[in-house]
Amino acid sequence: MKLPRRISTYCPACKAHNQHEVEQVKKKRASERARGQRLFRRVTAGYGGFPRPKPEGREKPTKRIYLRYRCSSCNKAWHRPNIRAKKFELME
């Protein structure tokens, strides 16, 4: 899927149509202090196997793509619902 880097769309902050910069959101490093991560570390510590069964079946054929839209006039950023695609490219 190809998408232009700049699109004209509705800005919820300005309540008007403006030019938006489209950027792909990268996954940030997971925090070691998050509750789920603390629980995971506690369960996997010491003897014993992995706490959860391995997922059955194969991976999904498409991955979710997270996009951030940044308004050129007010500089606020917002997200749309995620899309799925096998390939993704931002064009100039």
Give tens-digit pLDDT for 20-64.
999 999 988 989 999 999 998 998 888 887 887 777 888 889 999
DSSP-based three-state secondary structure for 77: strand
**Other residues' Cβ atoms within 10 Å of the Cβ of residue 77:** 14
Topology, domain 1-26+62-92: Nuclear Transport Factor 2; Chain: A, (3.10.450)
In 3D, which of 16, 19, 28, 2 has the Cα closest to residue 70? 19
As a whole number of angstroms, the distance between CA 17 and CA 11 comes to 6
pTM value surpassing 0.85: no
In 3D, which of 49, 53, 80, 77 has the Cα closest to residue 64? 80
The one-character DSSP state at 79 is: E
